[in-house]
Amino acid sequence: MLVLEDGQVGYGDCATGQYSGIGGRDKPFFSKEVVSFIQKEIAPRLIDIEVRDFRETASIIENWVINGQRLHTGISYGVTQAVLDIVAKYKKMTMAEVIAEEYGTKLAKERIPILIQTGDDRYIGADKGIMKRAEILPHALINKVEGLTGKNAERLYKYATWVRNRIQQIGEKDYKPIIHLDVYGTIGYAFNQDLNKVVSYIKKLEEAVKPYPLQLEMPIDMGSKEATMEAFKKMKEMFKKEGIKTRVIVDEWGNTLEQIKEWADAKVADIIQVKTIDVGGINRVIEAIIYCKNRGVGAYLGGTCNETDISARVCANVAIATQPDQMLAKSGVSVNFSGVVRRRLEKKQNSHNNNFLPW
């Protein structure tokens, strides 16, 4: 919380990802450590600071080196949110208007397409997304081969077919969403990283979900940025030969602004996820989206299931000001977060023979 001289307060929430520390991401952090660090190292630097514009102030904060280290991306994320909020209040503008003014962008006149993520409730969550007419769904958290993708990716095929059928069964006649599946590299794992088999499978998957467009997030993950980028390049070349229209999205190994620029320049992915908590400061999130668009590559304003209502509001303003191709529904795991938490708490309470207090 940053307080202006006139008493107005700017808010920002630090956040970390569910998969911190892997895929080239910044290390995990824990709330007690973060609070202590901010109180000791960040707060003194912010007291009496002149905050008249967002871009310059956020850049200064992003470049701070404390105890020989740059700020953790999650801390930059939260602190720069508060700066953006307080500049907007100082100027009596929305955060989106501040961004558009300082970065020379145009505000969106239409809603940004929203991707919902079902979390572990892949069927009920998909139903909710269909009933709410989500533009893109279901994400589905396909994060392991066993039990989700299947040894020959047969389980993923079955689920994708179910989603297609379910849209037609309960969706309105004019509802035509994009089917987006985040598979965490598991298609590659299922076929031992054999690109010929991977591409052949994706071609069948694309046919199975027609007439709806298909997007696959991280169909393969080779364990490093360089190897994954090379595999994406070969895969896209094979797509062209086979006439495959499926759009592939990079998440892991495209974490920082610098890495996002590398992927955008290489043009080996159709869409790059700008994963807010991994990129760092809101200024970098903005710059990443703008860079992707300028390079003719799709930008997906992502995030984490650890987002809060505060960080979600900031991201909504960023989306309105920068117009990414799609954005992740927030906060929490989209349509189904409270249901997942409730069932897990019920299970935990029952295992301890305690009475569960209904919410």
% pLDDT > 90, the chain: 77
Q: What is the mean pLDDT of the chain?
A: 90
Q: How confident is the model at residue 336 (pLDDT cuts 50, 70, 90)?
A: low
Give how far Cα 310 sits from Cα of 18, 84, 104, 133, 314, Å: 18, 12, 25, 24, 6
Q: Higher model confidence: residue 336 or residue 321?
A: 321
**pLDDT (0 to 100) of residue 342:** 45
Q: Which DSSP category does 20 fall into?
A: T
Task: Tell me what pLDDT residue 22 has.
Answer: 56
Q: What is the mean pLDDT of residues 218-237?
A: 97
* Residue 293: partners with Cβ closer than 8 Å, 6 or more residues away: 299, 322, 323, 324
Residues paired with 271 in a beta bridge: 249, 298
Beta bridge pairs of residue 274: 301
Contact 102, 111 (CB under 8 A): no
Q: What is the mean pLDDT of residues 295-304?
A: 95
pLDDT of 167 above 80: yes
Confidence of residue 49 (pLDDT cuts 50, 70, 90): confident
Structure tokens at 38: 């901010």
Is residue 275 part of the annotated active site? The answer reads: yes
The number of beta carbons lying within 10 Å of the beta carbon of residue 353 is 6
Helix (H, G, I), strand (E, B) or coil at 275: coil
pLDDT beyond 80 at 29? no
The band of 338, judged by pLDDT with boundaries at 50, 70 and 90, is very low
Write the pLDDT tens digit of every residue in 242-291: 999 999 999 989 989 999 999 999 999 999 999 998 898 999 999 999 99
- Output the six-digit token pair for 72: 């953790």
- Mean local confidence (pLDDT), 212-229: 97
φ, ψ at 238 (rounded to 5°): -70, -35
Which of these is catalytic: 128, 225, 275, 330? 275
Q: Are 187 and 198 in contact (CB under 8 A)?
A: yes
CB within 8 Å of 232: residues ≥ 6 apart: 220, 248, 250, 268, 269
Name the pLDDT band for 345 (thresholds 50, 70, 90): very low
pLDDT score of 356: 33
What is the structure's pLDDT at 20? 57
What pLDDT score does 15 carry?
86
Q: How many CA atoms lie within 13 A of 17 on its CB side?
A: 24
Encoded amino acid at 314, one letter:
V
Which residue matches tokens 């202590």? 36
Domains plus CATH for the chain? Answer: 2-103 (3.30.390.10), 114-339 (3.20.20.120)
Q: How far is CA 43 from the centre of its chain?
A: 28
